[in-house]
Structure 1
Amino acid sequence: MSLVMFDLRLNYPLIGEEAALIEHCIHSMPSNELEQRLLLPSWSGALQDRVLAAQWLGLSGEESISICMSAHHALIALAFAAELRGATIVTEDYTYPGFKAIADLFEIGLLPCETDAYGLVPDALKALCAQHSARALYIQPTIHNPLGILMPLQRRQEIADLAQRYGLFIIEDDAYRFLAKDAPARFYDLVPQQTAFIMSLTKPVSPALKIAYLLAPPQLAPALATAIRLTSSGASALLSGVASKLIHEGLIDQLIRRKRQEAAVRQIAAKQILVDLSLQSHSTSYHIWLRLPEGLQAPQLERALRKHDVAIVSGEEFAVEQHKGSQYIRIALGGEAEQLRLEQGIRLLKEAL
């Protein structure tokens, strides 16, 4: 939470229980285990941590799991391991700005694909694949950032079929999957032989718990281990141990349930304030995609809100195409720890509209 600004920009939801849980995990760690976890980690993560992660993620074995420092780190390691430098990758027409930055770093060309109320449009993807030599598809199918869409299973199956037909490697970034109670099958479950799935713990737990699980086809494991070694010397074994303890004791599942409940409360409160505006969101997500009234542009609104110490994100930051998105903003509901401050910030936004 910002001390001077109403933060409707960043989205790392904290509900006040995280510090005590992390403290418990460290203090209850046997001294011999703690000593081991202070040593240089295995490049892809300790075996016992990967086994627990595999069980939590519903896998039959740990062979396909690598432990990274964050989703960003997983994406960078994957770009190295899958040799994606200079490749063309399809993504939704609005996508995660962090991936856009990583694409620039690797000179990756992004092809924006049309979306509808159910996510990526299969016919649009088919047309792009017929016209371009795309290597991969970067997709956020579960509570998309920023659109808030939860893609249904049938749509996932259609896209998986197209990926197989055109040889697209699927990069499935599921940062917000934990907020969807009964999310459909992952692309990794549908086409595991050509999918990489990324699950970070920075949002389910805390931005300080820099641990992410990367599931990828086994043939990429050696290259991923090398990429992780070169980019980080391996994720922190201590933080990985904290994550494993949270999983083993069921604490992370309890925390996730609480965060879902809190998200639902915040969605209701925000929509009551923003009534009669054009909104798009998921009922248990921590963000809202808002179409601005006719004639108002996001940069103009950002400047006006800055005078009232309110921070928002312009849709331009998410747009894959240049000069697009200025008629939208994303409102983050997880940047303010106190709901009262969140509601105050949203009211100031409503007044500016």
Structure 2
Amino acid sequence: MDTIWPETLPTGAGPKYKAVAQIIRDGILDGALSQGARLPPVRDLAWQLKITPGTVARAYTILTDEGLLNAEVGRGTFVAPPLDEDTAFAPPIEVDSAAHNREAQDWRVNMVSPHLPSVGQAQLIRGLLADIARDPPSGMMHYPDRTNARPAREAVVTWLAAAQLGHMDQGDVVLANGGQSAILLLMQALLKGRKPVVLVEELSYPGFRRAAELVRADVVPVAMDAHGVIPEALARAAAAHDAQVFCTSPEVHNPTCLFTPLERRRELVEVARAYDLQIIDDDCYQIAAARAPSYRMLAPERGWYVSSISKSLTPALRVGAAIAPHGRAAPLRRAAEHAFFGLPTPILDLTAALLAHPQLPTLTAQVQAGINQYVQSAVNILGGYDVRWRENVPFVWLPLPEGWRATAFCQAAEAQGVQVRAGEEYAGREARSTHAIRFAINAGVHLQTFEAAVGRLRALLDNPPEQINV
């Protein structure tokens, strides 16, 4: 294998990552790299070629997406088995010109939103898109409608089998342009009156507030403890504000990672029934089997559920789902049809094929394994601090030690090439400042690059500002 690598890459022949990728393609084509051959680790090859690790990682990612390489978490990168005769060694097509692992990210690491590990889902999606382009089940000359969306809705039902949603069929599913779109559709379908009120957790996903602003609703935060929203606080807020909707994330709370146990969920359901609150259960961050029944299952007359593929497969496709209580999807369907008619028919066809694909469980498990590897590294580096984390959850909540305020820490982190989110972004404008940060797992950069970025966060935590403002 060593014979295929030049001492230095040729200059003036385009981006270096493309040159590395072409050397590997040529090696596979002429037999110098055989099936199953293990490629050098990213940093070793970068040192040998006198380029950055990010350049090598980008080349590896492109070839993995093309199906020429297989990346196995914890083992390395290997030459994949040959493709079928129609596509073997076909000229590469860069569908995404902004590659998942950019050279510029070798030092600067964005941890604002999760970047999932690339474990073969791009290759699968690309193949399914090619099949759909050749013979689209829904055609290419029609508006989307309920009929051609049915296979996708049925696939969603299969995909959510482990979510503990109670009785559900495809008629309860309304597809949306991602999870945020699904939340907005639910608010449009459920809220009534000139100035409705939405209740949210005192620390909560900012998208709840943004959707409420779009429908001109007031947002009222509700106090929490270690198990989620406090039932008595929910009752007081519902009574004081004549609220209509309660938004919550009981399986994976964003941003704190907490889990609302079954007994607390039952208490909150009783409050919702007493004050006629509809419950929006945002479960977009849950990529493993649910630990407790959803509100849709516990309160089938008022539980509405939201999910998407953004945190388990890819955020690029913008596929989300809102699940209505059984038999109550009509207002939700109207909201979707009045807003955008429906998802594009090629996306409907892709959703149907992707979510029912036999390879999907394996890919999802590999995504989980990749996320956990990065999470465990982050937790090990930050040992000694109050790190809040969970398996299979691609973000970490970190209360800051004395001496740091969240905004100042975020500015200091950005100066060190690391972008994170201040805890106050998850609180209402009138709330007390939250001295914590949330940082997401960025598996789009090499693990060593990610670890170096977390190490820079650790250095900041260890050295808070010394000046005292008076």
TM-score past 0.5 threshold: yes
The answer for the alignment partner of 2:69 in structure 1 is: none
Question: In structure 1, what is the equivalent of residue 369 of structure 2?
Answer: 261
Q: CA separation in 2, counterparts of 1:305 and 1:200?
A: 30
Percent of paired sites with the same residue: 24
Question: Are 1:18 and 2:121 matched, yes or no?
Answer: yes
2:357 to 249, 253, 256: 249
Mapped pair 1:7 → 2:110: yes
**Bigger Cα displacement from structure 2, 127-136 vs 271-280:** 127-136
Q: Is the 2:118–2:444 Cα contact (8 Å) retained in structure 1?
A: no
Counterpart AA for 1:258: Q
Conserved 8 A contact 1:170-1:195: yes
Q: Which has the higher contact order (CA 8 A, sep 6+)?
A: 1
> 1:86, 1:106 within 8 Å by CA — same for their partners in 2?
no
* 3-state SS in 2 of match to 1:342: helix
**Aligned partner letter, 1:170:** I
Distance (whole Å) between structure 2 residues aligned to residue 171 and residue 109 of structure 1:
16
Gaps of 5+ in 2: 1-100, 162-166, 462-470
In structure 1, the partner of 2:382 is 274
The alpha-carbon distance between structure 1 residues 197 and 13, as it changes in their structure 2 partners (threshold 3 A), is: same
Tell me, in whole angstroms, the C-alpha distance in 2 between the residues paired with 1:22 and 1:311.
29
Deviation at 1:37, TM superposition (A): 5.5
- Report the residue type matching 1:79 in the other structure: M
Cα distance between partner residues in 2 of 1:37 and 1:122: 50
Query: Would you say the 8 A contact 1:10–1:335 is kept in 2?
Result: no
> Does 2:178 correspond to 1:70?
yes
- Residue pairs, 1:1-353, within 5 angstroms: 1=101, 3-4=104-105, 5-29=108-132, 31-34=134-137, 36=139, 39-42=142-145, 46-58=149-161, 59-84=167-192, 86-178=195-287, 180-217=288-325, 220-334=328-442, 336-353=444-461
Cα distance, 1:290 vs. partner? 0.7
Amino acid at match of 1:52: A
CA apart distance, 1:328: 0.7
TM-score with structure 1 setting the length: 0.92
Q: CA deviation at 1:176?
A: 1.1
Map of 2:21 onto structure 1: none
C-alpha contact 1:37 1:241 (8 A) present in aligned 2: no
- CA distance 1:236–1:284, shift in 2 (3 Å): same
Aligned equivalents of 1:122, 1:204: Cα separation in 2: 31
Query: 1:39-89: CA deviations, max 9, x gaps?
Result: 321169612221222233235421211111111211222222223562111
| Cα deviation 1:76-124 (Å, max 9, x = unaligned) | 2222222356211111111111222122222222221122222222222
Contact kept in structure 2, 1:292 and 1:328, CA below 8 Å: yes
2: distance between equivalents of 1:283 and 1:240? 31
- CA–CA distance in structure 2, aligned partners of residues 43 and 63 of structure 1: 9
Normalization by structure 2: what TM-score?
A: 0.70
Contact 1:6 1:345 in 2 (8 A): yes
Greater C-alpha Rg: 2
Instruction: Quote how far apart the aligned CAs of 1:274 are.
Output: 0.6
Which residue identity is paired with 1:148? Answer: C
Q: 1:321 to 1:43 in 2, by over 3 A?
A: farther
- Give the number of equivalent residue pairs: 352
Q: Secondary structure at the match of 2:384?
A: coil
SS for the counterpart of 1:278 is coil
In structure 1, stretches of 5+ residues that fail to align are none
Per the TM alignment, residue 185 of structure 1 is displaced from its structure 2 partner at its CA by 1.0
Q: Deviations over 1:206-256 (max 9, x none)?
A: 111211111113565333223212322211222222222122223332222
Cα deviation, residue 172, structure 1: 0.8
Asked if the contact 2:396–2:438 (Cα under 8 Å) also holds between the matched residues in 1, the reply is yes
